[in-house]
Structures are given as structure tokens and as C-alpha cells.
Structure 1
Amino acid sequence: MLARDIMNRTVLSISPEHSVRHAARTMLENRISSLPVCDDASRLVGMLSESDLLSRAELGSAGRSGLSGVGPTPESFIKEHSWRVGDVMTQPAVTVDESVPIGRIAELMAAKNINRIPVMRAEELVGIVCRSDILRVITAATPDGVAVGDEAVRRAVSTRLCCDLGIDVGAIDVTIENGNVTLSGQVQSEAMRTAARVVAETVSGVGGVRNMLRVAAA
């Protein structure tokens, strides 16, 4: 699934000449955490987010971002006091092309700690993806087909352990009875032990998992 498949095509934006107060009011009224900033030619020039407004002079926190005894830097003074969105916004904006997979979008959101990402077609802003759009993909995901019979489930678990975690098929013994899986053998870390359990739990047809794996001594 790609950005174009989940993006919101109606995008609310503001001008760099708008006031910070107008931008804050717009975010509140529309219950959004950030706004694309577009110039008179409708080109994306930045993003204004809630985090850009957390050190404003109106909050009484201005001047605290500079070194002790030195005062604010010129850049922080502008961000704290300017009334223009263009002075306060973050630029350049983090964007994605409409053909980017949604997994990559989720990675960017996590890495950059952002909630909304503009979607581009060349230089044109064509949509925006929010964290809630990612969550909807998760809730709408259809489960894998259910393996039929204990042997089919056992093979499915073994295959997933190999493909997802790179575990040698012979390193872990997978047994199953009435849909309940037991994992035994040895792995290299506690994290791998937990990951193996998670893999088994996510295989359709598994009723429960008994994790008997041992962690190799360092």
C-alpha cells in the first residue's frame, strides 16, 4: 500500500504571511497538530506544528533557549517573538512522494517525531498522511489464512522463524498439540527469545505458545 492509497486529498494549508495566532486558531478549530505552509504559487515552503509554538513569548518561556547569561540566539528570538508563520515554521518540510510505501512513512514519523507528512507529486502538494491514517491500515489489515491441522501450523511457525528472524530451522524445536505450540532449543539473546514467541503467536491457527527457549550463556 502506498501513500496515495491512504492520504487525505483535501489539505488545509496556510500562507507564510499569516499570523501565528491565526495558525494556532486554525489548528485548534480543525483538531490538527500541524499545517503545511504554501506560498502564493501554492508551493510547499514549510510546516508549522504545535512544537514550533511551544517556546513562544506569549507563554512566558521566551529567552530561555539561549546560553546562561548570554540571552537568546537571534534564531530563537525570531521563533519566540515573530508574528509571521514564515519566520516560525520548520523548513524544509519532511515530505514523501505519493508512491512511497506506507511502511516508510511510518518509519519517518517515528524517526522525526512528527504526526503529519505532506504527500507530493513532483513539486505539487497532493495530500497529507496522518498517524491516524497509519492506524486505520493496522485495524483494517486482514489476517493471514489459517493453517489447517497441527502439522501445517508447525511448518508455518518454523518457516516464519526462519524468514522473519533468520533462525536456523534446526536450532529451534517446534512442537504442537491441538493448536498449542511449544518452542524449545537455544537462542543468542533474551530479545531473540521474545521475538520467537511473538512470531509463533502471530501465525494463524496458533492457540497458545509455551516458550521453553534457553538463552545461550555469554
Structure 2
Amino acid sequence: MDANANEKILAKDVMKTEVISVSPETTVKEVARLMIENKISAFPVVNKYNEIVGVISENDLISKIVKPHEPGLMTYLFHAALASSNEVLEYRKAMTRWNAQTAEDAMTSPAICVSPDDTIEKVGKVMLDDKVKRVFVAEEGHLLGVISRSVFVELLLRD
């Protein structure tokens, strides 16, 4: 496909608009069931105003199974007192995910989003730079659609 043609393709031209989403209150078990039933590896988490507040993926659910590695006692005591240790902060975040019962507790936030008027070139760069499999298309925080890696494979087949 011609590189100049990519500059004319916008996110809104290739996004999928039928997006399954979950609410922050959706249970982790329900998220897992939806993933299996729909063969989808992640969902946007949206509030009652259809604003994207995060994303919950298979990777987030792995965190429910694998207990986080606890920092050493001295590291924890020293840095917990100062509240400055990345290791301690990451451990606390991982423990929240490990104990998560809802999408809100297990999700990654913020979700990676693009504008409907962003070029496919920019969308691809965002996906590569942020190492994500999908981006959500949003306008003023409201979910409009999703673009996954398969869109780029399909674009290769266009004339």
C-alpha cells in the first residue's frame, strides 16, 4: 500500500463501532466469561456516561492468578516510611489487582485512545510506541470505536 494513501485514512474510517464494553462494577468473573464467549482479549471499561475510564485485558486477569512478589522487609520498611519506593508502590498496585473483584480494581488506566480524525499512520505509531494490541477511538473521552492490529493487516491487502 502506498505510504501517501495511509495519510488519507482516518481512524473513523477503519474503526469497529460495535464494541463490547464493561462497567467499572462488572465482576472479574463476568469479564472472564465475556472474553471467552466473545473471543476478545480486552474490553474498554466505561462509566454510565460512556466515558472510557480504563481497559481490562487478559494480562490484567493474569494478575488475579499470580500472587505479586513481595519486596524484602528492609525495602518495604524503609521505603514505606518514605512512600517513595517504586518497588513498594508497584507491589501495592499488584496486590490491589490480585484482590480485585471488579473491572475497576483490575483494569489498566488510562486506556490508550486516539481521535476519530487521527490518521492510520498516527494510530499505528501509538500502538507501536505504547506496545498495545488495540486502541480505542474516543471523542471528549466518549467511546466511539476500537482499532485492533488486524486492521493494519487488512490495510496491506487494499489496492
| Bin for the TM-score computed over the shorter chain | 0.7 to 0.9
Q: Which one of the candidate residues 144, 147, 153 is aligned to 1:126?
A: 144
Shift of the alpha carbon at 1:123? 3.0
Supply the AA of the counterpart residue of 1:3.
A
Q: Which one of the candidate residues 93, 109, 117 is aligned to 1:91?
A: 109
Once the two structures are superposed, residues 47-84 of structure 1 have per-residue CA deviations (whole angstroms, 9 ceiling, x without a partner) of: 1111112222xx3x2132x3245598322111111111
Shift of the alpha carbon at 1:121? 2.3
How many positions carry a matched residue from both structures? 137
- Aligned equivalents of 1:55, 1:127: Cα separation in 2: 26
- Aligned equivalents of 1:50, 1:63: Cα separation in 2: 16
- Aligned equivalents of 2:152, 2:37: Cα separation in 1: 23
Between structure 1 and structure 2, the one with the greater Rg is 1
- Aligned equivalents of 2:48, 2:138: Cα separation in 1: 17
Q: RCO greater where, 1 or 2, for CA within 8 Å and sep 6 or more?
A: 2
Residue matched to 2:71: 67
* Runs (4+) off by over 6 Å: none
TM alignment of 1:1-218, pairs within 5 A: 1-56=9-64, 59=65, 61-64=66-69, 66-69=70-73, 73-140=91-158, 142=159
Structure holding more strand per residue: 1
CA contact (8 A) 1:33 1:115 kept: no
TM-score w.r.t. length of structure 2: 0.79
Residue matched to 1:187: none
Any gaps of 5 or more consecutive residues in structure 1? Answer: 143-218
Shift of the alpha carbon at 1:3? 0.3
Structure holding more helix per residue: 2
Any gaps of 5 or more consecutive residues in structure 2? Answer: 1-8, 77-87
Supply the AA of the counterpart residue of 1:96.
V
Residue matched to 2:85: none
